[in-house]
Structure 1
Amino acid sequence: MTTAVAGAAAGLWHAAPALTSIGPLRRPLPRLSGQGRPGGIGLTFDDGPDPLGTPAVLAELDRLGWTATFFMLGSQVRAHPDVARSVVAAGHEIAVHGDLHRVHLVRTAAQVRSDLTRALGDIRAVTGTDPRWFRPPYGVLTAGSLIAARSLGLTPVLWTAWGRDWQKANPAWVLDNVMSGLADGGTLLLHDSDCTSTPRSWRTTARTLPLLAERLDEMGLHVRPLRDHLTAA
């Protein structure tokens, strides 16, 4: 095998899991997609903790009586440790989104391992929890992502529906995006931080939650954190 061929093969091996970032291609993988128990949905938030966005989302979740899973960035946890602890105090589940919000495709396996190790360590130290789930930035996995997650005892989970709420559109538009992909047993991705998106986009997210509650009530679906949604799937 020539050096060029070997390099191409290594590149394909590294990048192949990224295909699961395309929704239809991950449907045959229910656990990775977040397809859980029927009768409800898994509710997840990415990119926090945020000093403004996270409290706004927590307040709305408390009003609705919902519990969710928050995929946190290690860099955000170090910057806002009290906010991270407030999520735990409110009874929500903590998961790992990595340390820096950088796509894994442009990072080596060693860089990804270092990133996840630092994030997991700091999230554990600050929140006092032991996260089980991992979601890569942008939902893009690589071979290095999977190897690092497995070695750290983390299970990758993406989503079946998202609201595209990072664009700071109006709540009705976000809800339409959610409902176009959300079904019984699915997992929903929203954001409680604008650290990687349009400034103040979390305001739209918080305003979307009551609208979502009305739709889910009509469908007879409960809202759960992943610890309840997936573990008995």
Structure 2
Amino acid sequence: MYLRIVFSLLTIGTVGAVLDAVRPPQHPCLYNLCEAGSSCVPDNTDPKGYICRCTNCYGGEFCSLLKLVSNPCWVDGNHCLNGGYCDFTDCTLSCVCPSGFTGDKCQNEPLVNPCDSGEHQCQNGATCVPDKVGLGYFCQCTNCYEGKFCKSAKPVANPCSSDNSPCYNGGVCDFTNCAFSCRCPLDFTGNLCQYAICPKDVEVVPCLIDPCVLAMCSANPNAQCR
């Protein structure tokens, strides 16, 4: 009977040792004693197997001791510049800056876009357009120029200089800023003066105005020229 008990105890001990060998090690921070919002950090050199990393307001082995820290916002009322708000949350000094100001003390003034300050390099009547970030820009060139800063003139042909004017029905061709347009007589309209304007009180027979252009007449809007 005695030998059976001893054998059983030895068997239990052996099984326990085997289970301890295969069981994954327990994380040292699983049951830590760190307080006051501190962080547990594993440390093999510490007898506990971990250390407590305290916030700025607390100290001690388990971060349970409140530090006697003076609020610099009260001591120095001018710590934050340019109207910045002095903040000392969690014993960490910082400045909440007004819009546009940056820096640890709000000492950096807002950056002005070159389009607003006039310090851009857009030329020849180009429009300065701020980028999405607001610190850079690009140049929107007119029809006559191209390039990053609109310095290079485009080789644009003038259609008004030829004998075959693009304007119909006596329209005057105009070529301003490298783009042509037609100045139409009173009886015609359209970007090329291609449409006739019918008098309001006159019945107009289709195709009598111009055999090559459809007349915009309310009398017969579906008429076709033959």
Question: What's the TM-score bracket when you normalise by the shorter of the two chains?
Answer: under 0.3
More helix per residue: 1
Q: TM-score, normalised by structure 1?
A: 0.16
Q: TM-score, normalised by structure 2?
A: 0.17
